[in-house]
Chain A
Amino acid sequence: MWVLTLVLTLVVSAEASAQRRVTGRVTATTGEPVQAASVNVQGTTIGAYTGEDGRYTLNNVPAGAQVLVVRRIGYRRVTQPLQATSDQLDVRLEKDILQLETQVITGTTTTVSSANAANAVAAVSGEQLNRAPTPTIENALQGKVPGAVISQNSGAPGGGSQVQLRGVTSLNAASSPLYVIDGVLVNNSQIGSGVNSITAAGGGITNSQDQPVNRIADLNPADIESIEVLKGASAGAIYGSKASNGVIVITTRKGATGRPQGNITQRVGQFSLARKLGLRCFGSAAEAEAALPGSGADYTASGGACHDFESEFYGGNPLSYETDLSLRGGSGGTTFYVGGLAKRDNAIQRNTYYQKQSVTANLSQLLGTRVTLRSNNEFVHSLTDRGISGNDNQDIVSPGDIFSATPTFIDLAAGQPNPYLASGSNPFQNADLVKNPEDVYRYIGSVNTTYSAYTSARQTLDFTFIGGVDAYSYNSSLNSPPEAYFEPNDKLPGTIVKNKSQNVNANLNLSGAHKFIADIATATTSFGLRQERRQQDLIYNQGRNVPSGAFNVSSAAVQQSLEQQFLVKDFAYFAQEEVLALDERLLLTGAINAERSSVNGDDKKFYSYPKAAASYRLPWLPRFTDELKLRAAWGRAGNQPPYGNKFTALITSVNEGVLGARPSTIVGASDIRPEISEEVEGGVDMQMFGGRMALDATVFRKKVTDLILSIPVATTSGFGTKNVNAGALQNTGTEVGLNITPIQTSRVTWVSRTTYANVDGRITSLRDPQTGLVQCGNFGAFFSTAYGAPYVCEGYSPSSVQARNGFDSTFSCGPAGTCNTGTYIRRSRHLSIYESAPDFNMGFSNEINVGPVRLYGLLEWRKGGKVANLTNAYFDLATNEDIPTGMRGDTAATIARNKNFLINGRSYLESASFAKLREISVSYTIPSRLTQSVFPSLTQDVRLEVSGRNLKTWTNYTGYDPEVSNFSNQTIGRFQDVTPYPPSRSIFVSLSANF
């Protein structure tokens, strides 16, 4: 169809004849020239960029009166009439303090001005991202994108965060948004290090409780020019079956023609424990004896000591540092951006750290007049040791778990075997001996060739070819030597786990874009195809019973290996039509993506994902209003079945060297197909008071049907779950952004941004397609209702928690305290349903510039939600429930929780509301006359900055951090707190020089 449109438009190309040359200069209101501003003749394809001196030259400008449109990122767009007789026009641009003027990406190669955008697309600039040093880009986005709930799974260094856009959109398929960097679909998988081999938090060598990092953490935030967040199907439909959870489109920094400009930033800072649980000090030997029989003598021997394990273990770490270097420039058709980063975060838990080095080189070369060749390359190395934390079961190795069982009069820091654990496990010794480095080498690169096949005054036809690759190798090496006190406990002293894994995402993208500019409208047609291949191969080798000093699995007496792999091949066609009409007031968009994937039951079938959107800038405006835009968008996207979902496996096992196999408890679905997410959104964008205030408000409804489910089947069949497409859920919500500039003078500006978002989810249908029975359960996100279990059921929110709520009061146990067959366990437990997701999220950011001083702060407030605080359950662990036996300082609260728990009370489900001071910074730009007196060659500014992250949290939550998730990133059930790595706060001092 698009081919026909294209051919027709090519045929009707009529060219104007009388032409002239127009020149001029673009300056800022302050007088300095603005370089790289685009100057276009409205209604034509004629345009040029300004040079370093702000001058431009337009050739072939049609005769008669015209209108010039001048744009530059960071400035507000200006439309200025050009007289029929004039060949000269100077333009002054005003600073765009609220960033109202951006280009919004609508396709692989197409963009539209944010003034016309039909979706609520949140754009975050690189400058906004890097206000305070962050470990990963997700941290940098927290509180800045309305509709995005971004939660860090634990305080461990190196990342591990979940981004959830517009609520839960899947129960058993992927939970992560799609990340696209310069057209490359990148990998955000998470790989466990195999630390489960010593924590035994779950079964096997590795487990989701390994606290893995989702690998988007590898990116260097300083390389990012801008991030656009497409929150759902209505914006992301062209990404097809990977866009249901939203798409995060990242554009990296590029070069620009002109004098090379560089920046060097040096940061030095420190991480410290953000919150403490507060451990118990014992007042007497009798108190110790009552809490822990047999401990009175130890108390007396210690002289009544009280060691604050939290301060001792999570403190006293060395400084962290970060060096950023970048250089951009270009001449004669070549532009370049080169960036480099070296950082080391020394995290709060003893001997844990995160270090990263990255080099980025983005080059662009004009070949002749028609071909532009661009190559983006980022090479990253990261090395992190996150230590041991989280859940554990066998030998007690998680520091929080050890502290929960060890009285504070024991000097654990002395490194002796812990007398209060059978295994003798001592976290200080573990931190010194047990190493778990995770080493990642990653390359993300693309070659992007644009060919301007045809250009006339009214038409352009461009073809773009993008070949991209994201490859990383992940190598982890857990070494737990036999000297660790806990190691001999299982009679297999010493554990080594090596994981070698290769991950490759490769995609090819071939697309064309045709632009036709008529008097009444501009039509942009884009079309193309995309091929993608993703593969991963993880190989774990575990060795147990290892000699002292060994680093090699093959030196172990007992060896096990585990391999997990996938290969997915996708192929898609897409086409999109955008029409900008009525004096650039009306935008109409229609698009379709047809895609097949090897993970679908029918791997040859194409599934289609259409979208349609419209926006209209009202020509009649109320008082004080500069712009008023109404917009509406509708679209469909998918969520692919997880790899292997269509197969029913035989599970193999070994017995005396003979291989055995039994049917898997998971029944595959040979007809599995993608989930379909259909989203409608509508909204209003307003600008008022001469650009001093901007308000955008959006309402949306997202319906997900054909949910990919692992439906529990009655296990009496010998099966556990079956994979099916069944059920539907719906999310509705509101997002509001309010940006104001209360003060804007030549000396003082104050910019204030407020975001608000809520989302209400409900499962509208959840039935077994074969039996028609309503399905209610935990859908694989296993936990006990004693603490708070995920609960998925028709009519309820997908993020529900089911927890105990007391016993049936009429129950009695029977004669002589004997609860015989059946009676006791049939005692009715009251269970209630709670909501784990927040009611709403708000972000408040303020930036005040007074001359050379800038003050900035960002506060995030989440209201509502629940966390199952198993950490408290560990600390409350009682030798006797009636006396103060717990290890937390507040013994009264411990007793109350213990007693309540025994009567089936909800002792450990807590409110997760919090407000966090995410970022705060004060910076001072040293006047150039001062810097030049020291470094005469420095032409630009030097900035000194002190910035902090997560400095303060206000919450009633009694654990470390309500953002926590013991099972890392999950669609549902991410609300469990099991002795996590505690959260940290950081303060950095930065010195940044532009040259």
Chain B
Amino acid sequence: MHKRTLALLVGLGIAGTACKDSTSVPDLNNISAETALANGLTPTVLQLLATGLVNASRSELDGRYLVFTETMARDFYRLDNAENRYITELIGTAPADYSAFTGGGAFTNMYVTVRSGNTILNNLASATFLSPAEVSATKGFVQTMKALSYYRVLETRDTLGIAFDVNHPVNDPPAQFECKPNVLAEISALLDSANTNLVAAGAAAFPFALPSGFSGFNTPATFAKFNRGLKGKVEVYRALPQGNRTKATGTAGFNAAIAAINASFASPSAPMNLGPKYTYSTASGDQTNPLADANIFLNPFVGDSIQAGDKRAAKIFPVTPKTLSNVTGRYKGTMTDPSGALTQPIPILSNAELLLLRAQAEIGLGQFAAATADINAVRTADGGLTPYLDFVDAASAIKAVLYEKRYSLLGQSAQRLVDLREYGLLNASAGPGRSNGDIFQSVLPIPKSQFDTRNVTTITPACP
């Protein structure tokens, strides 16, 4: 009897040890960062991360970046029965709630892109298969994409400041917020460094393929033209009058902007929509255009105030009015109508925008004839309208430039919010809002999570 029992006990012990089979289970749902980068950057991994960077950048254009800023700039209304905060918190008396929704918008996505870019840069040393020229090309591409992301966060936060020095391990203390002039200077310097790298790449090709939206800008030499255009856009923002900047800084900034735009792909004779674009598709795993949304209406002012004969009226069509939260939408735009917009590309930076930015710089410098020429280039080509005679004062030139920007660049970026804010025009002249307490909010708040993770109640941007 005891023997049998002991035999069972022994058996039990053996069973116990026998069960010590493989104890680990890999990640069955995702490829892991450690595994993918275990051997450093290979051509496949570099392509993977480069496409990932473009996709991250494309993901920045969600409803929060585009719809929030275009609502604040009096271009859009998103009338959603399930969500009235698109109106009440953006143009209503309830300010954008920093804890959720409106407050959290257009912030984290941009830093995810920056992290994507930094992942490439941090691992670039391991990419032994790249020639020095290809390393430069890769650096120049990534830096330019990062600069675009920083710029977009700054557009929405302006003088509240943003964080710039973010390439640190996750366990390091959170990055400090820096003031607007500092960040603009840093973005500008980043773009210059990127340009230096792109130029250094010479005739080399990018060691990765870019989506078709970048065709014409998919070599270091041609991508540098996009880089210069972006530099011009940043310099115009830097030089615009807001923020008690002296006229002298403005002058230098506007000149820098014009120089950069002149080195870009801007050309009065080129198609107005020339420029890199994000492309969209309904193919499996791909992304559709984030603006394709039946709830987006145009601010009635957009439909009502378009000039007779403007060809861009084709983008605007009247619909059955809808009222919600004291606003009424009467028009929609083709850029948001799902029937066409679902796979419609969104320009990142277009020839029209560059010409109008140059016009803004020229107005700032008092070069009205040059400014009028640039405005007219867009006005005649895009709008099919009769050209203006040369402007003689800044106010009417600015008004004209804003008109062209509104109709040529509708729903493409936060540019109109930036312009209205910097020109001090974010008021009733920008377009009507709510019938019951119309508020002009110039920025989105710093998300609450930024205060929570820094354990502070206020964030004062550092401005050395």
A453 to B445 alpha-carbon distance, docked (Å)? 73
Residue A21 lies at the interface, judged by CB distance under 8 Å to chain B: no
Interface string of B244-282 (1 = CB under 8 A from A): 000000000000000000000000000000000001011
CB-based closest 8 A-B pairs: A718-B115, A660-B51, A714-B174, A649-B30, A784-B100, A654-B285, A660-B52, A716-B163
Contact B112 A661 (CB under 8 A): no
Contact A565 B28 (CB under 8 A): yes
Contact of A596 with B23 at beta-carbon distance under 8 Å, contacts A656-B212, A818-B426 already known: yes
> Nearest B residue to A803 by beta-carbon distance?
B99
Closest Cβ–Cβ distance, residue B23 to chain A (whole Å): 4
Closest Cβ–Cβ distance, residue B456 to chain A (whole Å): 10
Looking at B53-61, B187-195, B219-227, the stretch in contact with chain A turns out to be: B53-61
Query: Which residue, of A560, A561, A656, has the highest number of chain B Cβ atoms within 10 A?
Result: A656
Q: Which residues of B contact A661 (CB under 8 A)?
A: 31, 36, 48-49, 51-52
A813 to B162 alpha-carbon distance, docked (Å)? 24
Q: Which residues of B contact A821 (CB under 8 A)?
A: 158-160, 242, 421, 442-443
Residue B133 lies at the interface, judged by CB distance under 8 Å to chain A: no
Q: Which residues of A contact B118 (CB under 8 A)?
A: 718
Query: Which residue, of B2, B107, B285, has the highest number of chain A Cβ atoms within 10 A?
Result: B285
Q: Which residues of A contact B279 (CB under 8 A)?
A: 655-656
Q: Which of A924-983 contact B (CB under 8 A)?
A: none
Contact A659 B51 (CB under 8 A): yes
A776 to B456 alpha-carbon distance, docked (Å)? 11
Contact A713 B170 (CB under 8 A): yes
5 sample A-B contacts, Cβ–Cβ < 8 Å, listed by A number: A422-B322, A491-B292, A573-B16, A656-B283, A719-B115
Contact B36 A822 (CB under 8 A): no
Q: Which residues of A contact B16 (CB under 8 A)?
A: 529, 573
Closest Cβ–Cβ distance, residue A493 to chain B (whole Å): 11
Q: Which of B212-234 contact A (CB under 8 A)?
A: 212
- Residues of B in contact (CB 8 Å), total 122
Q: Which residues of B contact A453 (CB under 8 A)?
A: 1, 4-5, 8
Residue A722 lies at the interface, judged by CB distance under 8 Å to chain B: yes
> Nearest A residue to B4 by beta-carbon distance?
A453
Residue A306 lies at the interface, judged by CB distance under 8 Å to chain B: no
Contact B174 A454 (CB under 8 A): no
Candidates A422, A718, A824; contact of B114 at CB < 8 Å: A718
Contact B170 A510 (CB under 8 A): no
A405 to B295 alpha-carbon distance, docked (Å)? 14
Closest Cβ–Cβ distance, residue B138 to chain A (whole Å): 15
Closest Cβ–Cβ distance, residue B118 to chain A (whole Å): 7
Contact B119 A662 (CB under 8 A): yes
Contact A650 B33 (CB under 8 A): yes
A825 to B115 alpha-carbon distance, docked (Å)? 28
Contact of A656 with B159 at beta-carbon distance under 8 Å, contacts A529-B16, A714-B450, A715-B447 already known: no
A421 to B324 alpha-carbon distance, docked (Å)? 12
Q: Which residues of A contact B (CB under 8 A)?
A: 3, 6, 10, 292-294, 391-396, 401, 404-405, 421-423, 451, 453-454, 461, 463, 489-492, 510, 512, 528-529, 531, 544-545, 557-561, 563-569, 571, 573, 596, 598-599, 603-604, 644, 647-665, 667-668, 712-720, 722, 770-771, 773-777, 782-786, 789, 802, 813, 816-822, 824-827, 829, 831, 874, 877-882, 901-902, 904
Contact of A663 with B25 at beta-carbon distance under 8 Å, contacts A491-B339, A655-B286 already known: no
Contact A784 B284 (CB under 8 A): no
Contact of A664 with B30 at beta-carbon distance under 8 Å, contacts A454-B1, A558-B282, A603-B24 already known: yes
Contact B453 A652 (CB under 8 A): no
Candidates A422, A563, A567, A819; contact of B295 at CB < 8 Å: A422
Contact A718 B112 (CB under 8 A): yes
Contact A662 B49 (CB under 8 A): yes
A/B pair count, beta carbons within 8 Å: 344
Contact B8 A463 (CB under 8 A): yes
A874 to B82 alpha-carbon distance, docked (Å)? 6
A901 to B455 alpha-carbon distance, docked (Å)? 28
Contact A660 B23 (CB under 8 A): no
> Nearest B residue to A724 by beta-carbon distance?
B171
Closest Cβ–Cβ distance, residue A457 to chain B (whole Å): 15
Closest Cβ–Cβ distance, residue B227 to chain A (whole Å): 21
Candidates A573, A599, A818, A878; contact of B325 at CB < 8 Å: A878
Contact B173 A663 (CB under 8 A): no
Q: Which residues of A contact B308 (CB under 8 A)?
A: none
Contact B116 A647 (CB under 8 A): no
Closest Cβ–Cβ distance, residue B425 to chain A (whole Å): 11
A880 to B325 alpha-carbon distance, docked (Å)? 5
Residue B166 lies at the interface, judged by CB distance under 8 Å to chain A: yes
Contact B27 A644 (CB under 8 A): yes
> Nearest B residue to A874 by beta-carbon distance?
B82
Residue B387 lies at the interface, judged by CB distance under 8 Å to chain A: no
Q: Which of B28-57 contact A (CB under 8 A)?
A: 28-34, 36, 47-56
Contact A718 B166 (CB under 8 A): yes
Closest Cβ–Cβ distance, residue A396 to chain B (whole Å): 6
